[in-house]
Structure 1
Amino acid sequence: MEKTLENFVQDASRQPLSNDWLICDDSHLFAQLTQQLYLELTQFSYYRGTPIKILLAERDPVRFLAGFLAASAARCPVFLCNPDWTKQEWQQVFDLVNPDLIWGLGTRNWGQDYSKLKNPIIPSPDSGLIMIPTGGSSGKIKFAIHTWQTLIASVRGFTEHFLINQVNSFCVLPLYHVSGLMQFMRSLTTGGKLVIRSFKEVEYPQVNSIESSIFFISLVPTQLQRLLQKPELTQWLSQFQTVLLGGGAAWNELFEKARYYNIRLSPTYGMTETASQIATLKPDEFLNGKENCTQILPHASIKIRNQQGEELNSNQIGNITIYSQALALGYYPNTWENQAYLQVDDLGFLDNKGYLHIVGRNSDKIITGGENVYPIEVESTIRATEMVVDICVIGIPDKLWGQAVTAIYIPKDSNTSDIEIRNLLKDKLSKFKIPKNWIPVQTLPRNSQGKINRQELQQIATKFLQTSLAD
């Protein structure tokens, strides 16, 4: 992992890794494309005097990874992008970035005529920066500013945590997302293998012919749930060395099912700003009964503070503050004043053994009648009734209560009434935590990582309640 970026590009051109290190369609083109793009970018940057600002929105995995590695090695600021963003979202990105070059979106600009690019007089301060998107599911798209060094720090923390030198990754998550990108980084920089498949592909067992016992696979809770619904896929999943689970809160029923089928699950906690996970439960601990906690990785540390900024003792709930070598530098185009730590919106506590427990998000907390309600607890209790397929709990403005706890859910049976579910909750939740409003829907608005769009949920709930009052 101590190689320079240029070393990786030079190695790629010589193909020092085994021919099957990258396992996906057209993987044999990776070395050639990487070297070609690197040479073009460095030559043009030399004559121009400043690096090229690149939007990378390539759908093809080989072209995406070749472009990412070449741009990073050539010290060109590269912005990782979702090809499926809406027109409005793309406009946000164009206005923010003002790119020199776009790779992807059907342009196929491999072998671009660089003479037509913009040529600003002042050299860009963004040289060598890697911008990873975040925040697109519920508001304005932002780019967390990373460097090769912050990403390598994350890889180092991962390998030290799992006590391994080589990471083999089976990737079914988007490469433009930090959860997909870091699987590439781990495999590339440790000399491991990288399998890239779409999630739709893995739902057909005949394509899963790899030796899964040496691989890590990363999933979000909704993906794990879908795989556990098919016996042949459950059996396949149980053969993996480790199944990393992140991207959103899981629920007890899912944990119990995974443990029943001996899935070597590793629940994780992390975010784009921390270059993926900073706390992870090891699979042996999960199989032995631990589930709602994670162990902090060696490259990071966490402190729990109250609203006044005072550090709290073990088992006291407060705001999570992260210290990590893998922290982003800020949100493009601005850097943070203090890059030593990151105060996040999540609430949690450290137990006596130093394990991190997540309680919920401060901004998601519902205050109803003066009482605090954390949606994660309510959602997990409702899921345990096995009467819903999916559930999200939010607070809706209410004149009497301040906020009314509201459940938006997909019933498992169309004949199931909310009264039946409420009756099952009476002995499990305090009365003020039981939702006052119940809104059945056919689907919940989630993105590809399983994260809920809470703004859209608020709109669904408001419209439903207004219609109910009108009736």
Structure 2
Amino acid sequence: MPADSSPVELWQRRRWTPWLLDSQPAVLATAVAARRRQLQALQQIHPRPRIVLAESDPVQFLAGFLAACLAGCDVALGNPDWGQREWRQVQSKISPHLCWGGPELPELPDLTVLPAVDAFAPQPPADRTAVILIPTGGTAGSVRFVVHRWQTLLAAVRGFCDGFGQPVNAYCVLPLHHVSGLMQALRTWISGGQLVTQPFRSLVTGQILVPSPQDWTISLVPTQLQRLLSQERLARWLAQFRTVLLGGGPAWPDLLAAARGRKIPLALTYGMTETAALVAALMPDEFLRGQTGGSSLPHAQLRIVGPAGDLPPGEIGPIAIQTSSLAEGYYGEPSPAFTEAGCFYPDDLGYLDAAGGLHIVGRDSDKIITGGENVFPAEVEAALRATRQVADVCVIGLPDPQWGQVVTAVYVPDSDCSEDLPTALKAALVGQLSRYKHPKRWVAVAALPRSPQGKLSRPAVLKLAQHSAAASPAAPS
């Protein structure tokens, strides 16, 4: 990786290299120049303007992002699929001076009345205090922006390259406005690799843009991996990758077993928007040997904390993350999880094994307390998936006057299963889980509310369960 990895130095070095595989360098350079002219004109009014970037076209998105970084402007990434409700929140929280993509927001300047400027004229170094706001949420709750800077994103790239090697070539099927998509682009640009972008829906139709991906990485969520493994041709293609990064939620045992059987070089990852994506991973060779529990990447340290300090191996507790890629908080709101410099306390619970491997148990906020017992949904969901009688499932807790909460399974029946599926599932769980972990209510649905990336919205599932006529009364213990 270059010693000087500032946006200006990187752009001078990489401007005419074939970095974006599905576009000529001149196309991206021309688009960056056009965006820089707009920003230079805007900076005559606002020295440090705030930009919202919601371009659906990858070239235009990357051009806008690079132009903002080169000019030292604050840039907030936006989801082109947001509705009016989300965009009203963006307008209220960000008050942008300029919006690329997305709807026309009120009171934005007319740049056509300003004099033309030279996008390639000598520029002062980019303002290192400019912020990069990456969205999190917005599906069932309010839109929040995580505050990163170039330095924290660069630290994440360095940590990834130190752990996985470089240069990084990324086959990106995730949205660029999402941290997992953005970081793929930055890893390739900074490390000297190549990037190809493709909507996942076109990949599953068999349109493969890199036929021989031995030197490439691809990032997937579990539902995407499942769909690719279900097609023989795509499963063989996936096995050729150097690394298949899997994150975005817990993977169920049957899926991991199928990946091992197909010799898929999976790297099971742990990270989040607040840490600029990955901070821990189980490497592909470890995964294929049947190991569990990923290790921290070089730029991060993970601990399991208790009331009196760090917990010993095997004990479950809250996870604490120390990393140079940590964000500063959430834009425009208090950030209690960021209570120490360089340390973040997510909502996740887990434990470390004797070798220091991290095992995620679930989210503290998802934990169900029923009859005084703690139940972690991920464990129950894995047991239900292992029955192979549900196509999808989410376990939640519903309020109950007797139990406090009752374990509730909201599931999509497998097409080949009988009508009385709850009875079959109850029987299958006997001996697999303690009785207090067995669902007492069952809600059948046609589909679970998931984002285009496969991420489940538990608040939306909760509403489904609360309003579904299929929810049965709680069964006796």
TM-score by length of 1: 0.91
Residue 213 of structure 1 deviates from its aligned partner by: 0.7
Superimposed CA distance per residue, residues 436-457 of structure 1 (whole angstroms, 9 cap, x where no aligned partner): 0111111000112322111111
The aligned runs of 1:280-429 (5 Å cut-off) are: 280-291=281-292, 293-306=293-306, 308=307, 310-334=309-333, 338-412=340-414, 413-416=416-419, 417-429=421-433
Tell me how far apart the structure 2 counterparts of residues 466 and 260 of structure 1 sit (CA, whole Å): 37
Tell me how far apart the structure 1 counterparts of residues 339 and 383 of structure 2 sit (CA, whole Å): 41
Tell whether the 8 Å contact from 1:405 to 1:434 is kept in structure 2 after alignment.
yes
Tell me how far apart the structure 2 counterparts of residues 378 and 352 of structure 1 sit (CA, whole Å): 25
Superimposed CA distance per residue, residues 57-116 of structure 1 (whole angstroms, 9 cap, x where no aligned partner): 01100000010011011110000000101111111111111110000126699x943749
Tell me how far apart the structure 1 counterparts of residues 450 and 201 of structure 2 sit (CA, whole Å): 17
Tell whether the 8 Å contact from 2:41 to 2:111 is kept in structure 1 after alignment.
no
User: What amino acid is the match of 1:448?
Assistant: P
Superimposed CA distance per residue, residues 270-304 of structure 1 (whole angstroms, 9 cap, x where no aligned partner): 0000000100110000000024x211101000111
**CA gap 1:190/1:368 in 2 versus in 1, 3 angstroms:** same
Tell whether the 8 Å contact from 1:26 to 1:62 is kept in structure 2 after alignment.
no
Tell me how far apart the structure 2 counterparts of residues 408 and 26 of structure 1 sit (CA, whole Å): 47
2:237 equivalent to 1:236: yes
Tell me how far apart the structure 1 counterparts of residues 42 and 460 of structure 2 sit (CA, whole Å): 45
Residue 220 of structure 1 deviates from its aligned partner by: 0.4
- Matched residue, 1:451: 455
- Matched residue, 2:89: 92
Q: Secondary structure at the match of 1:214?
A: coil
* Aligned partner of 1:161 among 141, 160, 163: 163
Residue 315 of structure 1 deviates from its aligned partner by: 1.2
Residue 369 of structure 1 deviates from its aligned partner by: 0.6
Tell me how far apart the structure 2 counterparts of residues 338 and 131 of structure 1 sit (CA, whole Å): 21
The aligned runs of 1:158-307 (5 Å cut-off) are: 158-162=160-164, 164-291=165-292, 293-306=293-306
Tell whether the 8 Å contact from 2:265 to 2:285 is kept in structure 1 after alignment.
yes
Q: Secondary structure at the match of 2:264?
A: coil
Residue 146 of structure 1 deviates from its aligned partner by: 0.4
- Matched residue, 2:58: 61
Q: Secondary structure at the match of 1:270?
A: strand
User: Which segment is superposed worse, 312-321 or 448-457?
Assistant: 448-457
Tell me how far apart the structure 1 counterparts of residues 271 and 279 of structure 2 sit (CA, whole Å): 5
2:99 equivalent to 1:102: yes
Tell whether the 8 Å contact from 2:134 to 2:148 is kept in structure 1 after alignment.
yes
**CA gap 1:114/1:192 in 2 versus in 1, 3 angstroms:** farther
TM-score by length of 2: 0.90
Tell whether the 8 Å contact from 1:327 to 1:339 is kept in structure 2 after alignment.
no
Tell whether the 8 Å contact from 2:128 to 2:150 is kept in structure 1 after alignment.
no
Tell me how far apart the structure 1 counterparts of residues 287 and 198 of structure 2 sit (CA, whole Å): 26
Tell me how far apart the structure 2 counterparts of residues 94 and 319 of structure 1 sit (CA, whole Å): 35
Q: Secondary structure at the match of 2:214?
A: helix
Cα RMSD between the aligned structures?
2.3
Tell whether the 8 Å contact from 2:183 to 2:277 is kept in structure 1 after alignment.
yes
Tell whether the 8 Å contact from 1:187 to 1:193 is kept in structure 2 after alignment.
yes
Tell me how far apart the structure 1 counterparts of residues 38 and 83 of structure 2 sit (CA, whole Å): 30
Superimposed CA distance per residue, residues 200-251 of structure 1 (whole angstroms, 9 cap, x where no aligned partner): 1211334334431110000000100111111111011111111000011110
Residue 407 of structure 1 deviates from its aligned partner by: 0.3
* Aligned partner of 1:48 among 23, 27, 45: 45
- Matched residue, 2:118: none
**CA gap 1:406/1:32 in 2 versus in 1, 3 angstroms:** same
- Matched residue, 2:140: 138
User: Which segment is superposed worse, 447-456 or 423-432?
Assistant: 447-456
User: What amino acid is the match of 1:456?
Assistant: A
Tell me how far apart the structure 1 counterparts of residues 313 and 466 of structure 2 sit (CA, whole Å): 40
Residue 128 of structure 1 deviates from its aligned partner by: 1.5
Q: Secondary structure at the match of 2:442?
A: strand
Tell me how far apart the structure 2 counterparts of residues 127 and 222 of structure 1 sit (CA, whole Å): 38
Tell me how far apart the structure 1 counterparts of residues 430 and 82 of structure 2 sit (CA, whole Å): 43
2:74 equivalent to 1:77: yes
Q: Which runs of 5+ in 2 are unaligned?
A: 116-126
Residue 49 of structure 1 deviates from its aligned partner by: 5.5
Tell me how far apart the structure 1 counterparts of residues 78 and 315 of structure 2 sit (CA, whole Å): 39
Residue 135 of structure 1 deviates from its aligned partner by: 1.9
Q: Secondary structure at the match of 1:420?
A: helix
Q: Secondary structure at the match of 2:354?
A: coil
User: Which segment is superposed worse, 315-324 or 414-423?
Assistant: 414-423
Tell me how far apart the structure 2 counterparts of residues 467 and 254 of structure 1 sit (CA, whole Å): 28
Tell me how far apart the structure 1 counterparts of residues 216 and 39 of structure 2 sit (CA, whole Å): 34
- Matched residue, 1:439: 443
**CA gap 1:206/1:141 in 2 versus in 1, 3 angstroms:** closer
Tell me how far apart the structure 2 counterparts of residues 135 and 126 of structure 1 sit (CA, whole Å): 27
Tell me how far apart the structure 1 counterparts of residues 471 and 269 of structure 2 sit (CA, whole Å): 40
**CA gap 1:26/1:136 in 2 versus in 1, 3 angstroms:** farther
Tell whether the 8 Å contact from 1:73 to 1:128 is kept in structure 2 after alignment.
no
- Matched residue, 1:122: none
Residue 29 of structure 1 deviates from its aligned partner by: 1.1
Tell me how far apart the structure 2 counterparts of residues 393 and 5 of structure 1 sit (CA, whole Å): 44
Tell whether the 8 Å contact from 1:12 to 1:34 is kept in structure 2 after alignment.
no
Residue 425 of structure 1 deviates from its aligned partner by: 0.6
Tell whether the 8 Å contact from 2:254 to 2:385 is kept in structure 1 after alignment.
yes
